[in-house]
Amino acid sequence: MPGKVPVVLDVDTGIDDALALLYACASPELELLAVTCIGGNVDARQVAENTRAVLELAGRKDVPVVLGRERPLVKRLETSTETHGPRGLGYAELSPASRPIEPDDAADRIIAVARERPGEVLLVTLGPLTNLAVALEREPTLPRLLGGYVLMGGVFGAPGNTTPTSEWNIHVDPHAAKQVFARWAMPGEQTTALPLAMGLDVTERARFLPEQLRHLAVRAGALPLDAAAAGTEPVRAIGSVAANPMLRFLVDALRFYFEFHAKYDGFYGAFIHDPFAVAAAIDRSLVRTQPTFVDVEIGSGLGHAMTVGDFRGLLRRPPNVDVAREADADRFMDRFIDRVGGFAARAPGAAR
C-alpha cells in the first residue's frame, strides 16, 4: 500500500507481544507483511498458535504466520510461563485459529520479503534473535536488503530482568544475539542503518497501570461504570468491557501480567516492552539514541547473556547498534491507549 511501511514482526507471543501485534494492526503507517515465530515466552508452536489467534481477534486473518526455529542455537530452550501463563496469554481464552501456519520457514520468509522489496522492509524482533541469526547465515547481505531493523532486547544501564545483568530475549539465545550484532559490526555494514535496540533501560519506563486500562476501555466505548472495573485492583471485565472481545482479551491477559509484576516488581501493573519497540520503530522521535559498539557475553557466570555497550568508545570499534538511551514513555502510552482503544471500538463484536 502506498505510503505505508512494510514490516515483518518476529515474535515469541506472550502477553506483551500480543499487545504489540494489536498495536501494529491498529497503526495506519504499517503494512504487516508477515509474522514469524520463535520460542521464548512459550514454545515456538504455542507462539504460532497464540499469534494466529490474536491476529484473527484483530480481524487480520490475512497476515501469514510462519514458524521458525524451535530451539536456541546452542542452549536448551527456556520459557517464561510464570510471567505469561501456561499458554502465554495469561488468563485470556481465544478460539483456535482457523488459518494454518505457512509451510515455509521463518528465516527464509524474512529473506524472501527483503529480496522482494530491497531497502523497504522494516524488521522488528520482539523475542530471542534466533530466527534472524539463521537468516543472516543464509543471506549475509540481509542488513543491506532490509530497510531497517528494531529489536526489543538487552539492558545497557539498568538491572536485568532475568539475571542481574541480562534481559530475557538475549538470555534465551545469547549466541544468536552475538551473531546478529557481529554481522552489523562487519566492515561495510556501517554504511547501512544501525539496528535500534530498545532495552530495558527505556522499555521499563512504560508502566501500564489499571488506570491506563480504564482509559483504554473508555476509548473503546465501554460504559463508565464497566470501564471503572477495569481500573481497579484486581482488574475485572464486566458488562460492556466483557462484551467487547478485544477488551475482554486485554483485561484477561493483563490481569495475569499485573499479578506477576505485583509479586516480583512491587507494583500492580505491567511493563509493556514490545508495543513500545513497535511504536519506536514507527516514530523514532519517541527515543533518543546513542550509536554504540555492542557485544554479548556468552560465557558462564554472572555476566552470561549481558549486552555490553562501549559507550565511551574504549574499544575504538565502529558502532553497530543505535541504543535507545532516553524515551518519551508518556507520549507512547497516550498513543497506545488511543490506537488500541480505538481499534477495540472498531473490532468485530464491539458495541456500536
Q: Active-site positions?
A: 273
- H helices, E strands: number in the chain: 15, 11
Displacement of CA 236 from its chain's centroid (Å): 25
Rounded to whole angstroms, what are the CA distances from 49 to 42, 56, 89, 253? 11, 11, 11, 16
Cell numbers for 73, please give them: 542455537
Distance CA 15, CA 313 (A): 37
Cell numbers for 318, please give them: 565502529
- Helical residues (DSSP H) of the chain, grouped into ranges: 15-26, 44-57, 81-84, 106-116, 130-138, 142-145, 168-172, 174-184, 200-203, 210-219, 224-229, 239-243, 245-264, 273-282, 329-346
For residue 19, the tally of other CB atoms under 10 A from its CB is 25
